[in-house]
Amino acid sequence: MGKRVNIADKETVDKIYNALVPDEIYGFIEHMDVLAPGQRIEYTGANKDYSPLTVNKETGEASYNSWADFPWLKANKPYMVHSDGTPDYKLNENDYALKEDGSASDVSNANYDGGAFAWAMKIYKQEYTVGSDRIVNFSITKRDGYEPIGFIDASNQELEGVWIPMFYGSILGAESTPKMASLASFQPTYNNTTDQQKTAITNFSSRAAFFGGAIVETLIDLMILFAKTTDLQGAYGNGNCHGYDASQAPTYGVKPNAVIGGGQFYGTSDGMHLNKIFHSIVLGSYQQWMRDPYVVCVNGKVKVSKNYNYDLAGAAYKDAGITHGKINDTAHYGPVYAHKFRTVGGFGALPIAPYMGSTALGGCDGMWVNTEITAVALRFGYCNTGLSAGPRALALSNAAAYARWSVGAAILLLPPVGVAA
C-alpha cells in the first residue's frame, strides 16, 4: 500500500520536515524583451550555476544534470490513487503496467475505483515583474512572500500536493452516469461540452477538478526552471503535435492512452508520438486541447479562478488585469505568439500583447482569442497545431458549449487536507 501521511500537528511536522530539506531559493528571470528562448532565461538563487535538464530526442531519455537531487523532482512519482485522493500504491517508474514490486498494476483496469496519477508535491512560489523582467522564485519551505500556488482547494484549504493526470481523460461507464478516468488503454474523450466534462469529472470524485488553472501555471514555470528555456517543445519533445490523419476519423490521429516507458520524462522530435513530462502524457503529447474552465475571457477581459471554483461566466473569478483587443479590426484571431506575460497574483503568468514571438521566439507557443464571446480556455494544442502547440499554448476563442474531436479534458485530483504521498 502507498504511504498515507495524515498531518495532525502541522507546525510540528513543518519543523521536522524543514530540517530535512534544503532551505534555499531556486529561481529564474525571464527577460521578456529577449526573444531567443535559450537566452531569455537567467538562473538565479541556489541554481545560479546549474546545468539544465535535457531530453535526448533519439532515445527519449532525460539527463537531469544539476537537478538530479532536487526534492520536487524526486517526489514526483507515479501512483494508483483512490478516487478520494488517497494513494493506493506506487507504480514502476519505467513500466506503469507493473506495481513497484513487479506484480501487475491496475493502470488499465476500468473497474478500479480511482486512477493513475503522478504526485506533484507542494512547492512555494514567488512571482513578480520588474520592467520587462519576470522574476520567479521557488522554495521547498514556507517563507514570507511565497504562496502555494495551485495547491489551494475550492474551500481555500492548503494541500500537501496534488495528483496530476498521467493520462488523458476517458469517459467510461453508463451513458446515464458517465465517469471520467485517468487510465491507460482507453481513447481520450471527445465531442463533449464543458458541462458534460464537468459532470463526468464530478462523477469520478468530489475531490476531482479539471486539470487546469493555477497548478498548470506552476508546472509550466517548473518546466522553464529545469530546462532554462521557453522553447519547451524543443526542451522536452514535440509529442503528437503533427499527428493529424484525416483517414483516422472520428479521432483524426488522437492516439489512445498508452503506457510510455522512459521514467519521468520521455521526448521525441518527429511530432508523431506520445511523450510525457512529470510522468504525464497530458503535459507532453499535445494531441488534444485540454479544457481549462478556470480561465475565461469575457469579451476580451481575462478572469481566473485561483482555487478550482467552477463558474463558466467568470463572475466569481479574479480579474487578471488583461484585456485582449481586436487585431486588424478582427475579433477572432490567432495564432499569435506572445513574448510578454503578465503576472496574476496567486495564479501565474498569462500572455499579453504585443505579440512579437513565433514558434521559435519569445514564449514559443500560440494563442487564439475571440473578443466577442465568453470563451473558456483550452490549453496545450492538438495533433494538427504543430509547433504552435506547447505547454503555454492557450486558446481563448471558444465558448463552453464547443464540442469537437480535438477537445478533451483531464482530471486533477485533490487529496484530502493533510494527506501526502
Q: What number of other Cβ atoms are within 10 A of residue 23's Cβ? A: 11
Beta bridge partners of 296: 303, 376
Q: Using CA atoms, how far apart are residues 79 and 116, in angstroms rounded to an integer? A: 6
Average pLDDT over residues 378-385: 98
Instruction: Summarize pLDDT for 4-32 with one digit per residue, the tens.
Output: 444 444 444 444 334 344 569 999 999 99
Closest CA to 372 of 415, 324, 321, 409: 324
Contact criterion met (CB below 8 Å) for 359 and 345: no
* DSSP states along 81-145: EETTS-EEEEEETTEEEEETTSSB-STT-TT-SEEEEEEEE--EEEEEEETTEEEEEEESS--TT
Q: What number of other Cβ atoms are within 10 A of residue 234's Cβ? A: 21
Give me the percent of the chain exceeding a pLDDT of 90.
Answer: 94
Instruction: Summarize pLDDT for 33-57 with one digit per residue, the tens.
Output: 999 999 999 999 999 999 999 999 9
Is the model more confident about 382 or about 21? 382
Instruction: Summarize pLDDT for 275-284 with one digit per residue, the tens.
Output: 999 999 999 9
* DSSP states along 276-335: BBTTBHHHHH--SEEEEEEEEEETTEEEE-SS----TT-TTSEEEEEE---BTTBSEEEE
What is the model's pLDDT at position 12? 43
pLDDT confidence tier of residue 175, bands split at 50, 70 and 90: confident
